[in-house]
């Protein structure tokens, strides 16, 4: 090569090198121990918005699989007896059939375990909204002394010494390092796939089915000020991240949202729970005080304790005649159209340590 060609070549290389992303001689990236995880794309029906997928914890096939295993594995409890799934049962919309859940030491909590339905779209977790998103929520139960009671460092040590988990973390995150952050990210990824979008309501919404006359009557009560359910339970997620004092007690027994904000106006407020799969998620309310939907609706209809601190939306019910028993019956029939067997028996959400559960025959829902 002549000197001239050599100089042109060198300059060209300089141009190319200077435009390739600016590594500028910085230490080259560390080689991963495992290949990158496989991005997971979930197709949603037309009546749902895009699935939130955080940039710092994107869904991957391997991450979701790891999270599923962690969700069902009792390894994250102090005496290795209890997994997340014991208080969050898939067939009950990932809620608990007990009023209060029992921790590993036989101690019961003071709030009912909430259901986990479409949590990807929920920004404030727990009844009082104290945790930000799924990752924030997943940090709490493991070290909680009345729940799983395992300090995070001990949990990490257990996973590091496990025969399979280092490899699963490697597959999910590119290397086998295990941390609290990665544990909660994996669990959050799995929970982000808890999507209930194929109830009869959804199919009607998409024009694939029709309500019976009684279901339609119940829907008409739900979606108008007759029932006035829609303000706190919109027609997409049937929940809002808003907090309300619904007049459960004349003297507030649980401060609720106040414990998070310190605002006296928030005393006794709790988040609006989703009504999706409400038929199978008894008992109801933040303290599980009501066993049936009839009791819940009776409370909202005229059974609440009125007072200055009660939500105006609840107090507003005093301005119209209460719903009649027949109207309440039709409202419950409509609420049953929010049951989604495809979600409750989705094999991808089931216990990976057990054989798949057969989908039951349902009444056309």
Partner 1 sequence: MSRTGILRLAAVLATLLSLLLAGCGEDDPVATEEPISVDVFFDFTVGGQPLVLNSLTYDNPAGRKYSVKVLRFVLTDIRLHSEQGNNVKLKDLHYFNIADPSSQTIHFDGGVPHADWNRVTFTFGLDETRNVRDKYISMTKFHTEMAWPTGLGPNLGYHYMQLEGNYEQTPGGATAGYTTHTGARQLDGTNPMFPGIVDATPHHHHFSVDLPVTPTHIHEGGSGEVTLHVELNGWYTDHAPADGNDTQYDFTDYPAMIMGNLEAQDKLMSNGPFCFSASMEAQGGHH
Which positions lie near partner 1, rule CB under 8 A?
3-4, 7-8, 11-12, 14-15, 18-19, 47-50, 121, 123, 216, 220-221, 223-226, 228, 230, 234-237, 239-242, 264-265, 308, 310-316, 318-320, 327
Of 93 and 221, nearer to partner 1 (C-beta) is 221
Smallest distance from the beta carbon of 269 to partner 1, in angstroms? Answer: 11
- Euclidean distance between the first and final Cα of the chain, in Å? 78
Of 61 and 313, nearer to partner 1 (C-beta) is 313
Of 87 and 323, nearer to partner 1 (C-beta) is 323
Question: What is the rounded CA–CA span in Å between residue 284 and residue 251?
Answer: 19
Q: What is the dihedral of CA 173, 174, 177, 178, to 10 degrees?
A: 20
Smallest distance from the beta carbon of 318 to partner 1, in angstroms? Answer: 7
Is residue 245 within 8 A of residue 269, CB to CB? The reply is: yes
Smallest distance from the beta carbon of 329 to partner 1, in angstroms? Answer: 14
Of 325 and 347, nearer to partner 1 (C-beta) is 325
Smallest distance from the beta carbon of 195 to partner 1, in angstroms? Answer: 14
Q: Is 364 left (phi over 0), alpha (psi -120 to 50) or beta?
A: left
> Please, which residues have CB within 8 angstroms of residue 126's CB and are 6 or more apart in sequence?
114, 137, 140, 271
User: 215 burial class (0-12, 13-18, 19+ CB within 10 angstroms)?
Assistant: buried
Of 29 and 264, nearer to partner 1 (C-beta) is 264
Smallest distance from the beta carbon of 116 to partner 1, in angstroms? Answer: 17
Of 59 and 122, nearer to partner 1 (C-beta) is 122
Residue in 224, 223, 328, 335 with CA at minimum distance from that of residue 276: 335
Smallest distance from the beta carbon of 124 to partner 1, in angstroms? Answer: 10
> Please, which residues have CB within 8 angstroms of residue 241's CB and are 6 or more apart in sequence?
122, 123, 124, 129, 271, 272
């Amino acid at each position: 090569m002549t000197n001239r060609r050599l100089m042109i070549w060198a300059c060209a290389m300089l141009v190319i090198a200077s435009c390739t992303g600016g590594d500028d001689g910085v230490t080259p990236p560390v080689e991963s121990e495992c290949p990158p995880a496989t991005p997971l794309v979930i197709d949603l029906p037309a009546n749902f918005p895009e699935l939130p997928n955080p940039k710092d914890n994107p869904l991957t096939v391997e991450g979701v699989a790891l999270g599923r295993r962690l969700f069902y594995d009792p390894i994250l409890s102090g005496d290795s007896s209890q997994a997340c799934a014991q208080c969050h049962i898939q067939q009950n919309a990932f809620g608990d059939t007990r009023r209060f859940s029992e921790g590993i030491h036989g101690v019961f909590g003071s709030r009912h375990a909430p259901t986990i339905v479409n949590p990807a779209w929920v920004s404030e977790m727990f009844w009082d909204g104290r945790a930000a998103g799924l990752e924030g929520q997943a940090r709490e139960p493991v070290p909680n002394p009345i729940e799983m009671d395992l300090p995070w460092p001990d949990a990490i040590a257990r996973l590091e010494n496990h025969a399979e988990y280092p490899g699963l973390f490697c597959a999910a995150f590119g290397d086998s390092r295990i941390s609290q952050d990665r544990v909660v990210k994996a669990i959050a990824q799995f929970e982000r796939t808890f999507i209930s979008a194929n109830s009869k309501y959804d199919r009607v919404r998409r024009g694939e089915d029709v309500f019976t006359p009684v279901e339609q009557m119940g829907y008409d009560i739900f979606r108008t000020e007759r029932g006035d359910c829609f303000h706190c339970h919109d027609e997409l997620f049937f929940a809002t991240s808003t907090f309300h004092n619904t007049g459960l007690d004349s003297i507030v027994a649980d401060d609720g949202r106040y414990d998070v904000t310190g605002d006296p106006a928030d005393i006794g407020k709790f988040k609006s729970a989703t009504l999706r799969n409400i038929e199978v998620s008894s008992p109801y309310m933040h303290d599980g005080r009501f066993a049936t939907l009839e009791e819940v609706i009776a409370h909202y209809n005229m059974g609440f304790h009125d007072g200055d601190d009660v939500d105006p939306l609840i107090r507003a019910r005093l301005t119209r005649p209460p719903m009649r028993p027949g109207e309440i019956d039709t409202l419950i029939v409509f609420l049953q159209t929010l049951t989604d067997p495809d979600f409750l028996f989705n094999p991808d959400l089931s216990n990976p340590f057990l054989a798949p559960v057969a989908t039951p025959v349902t009444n056309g829902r």
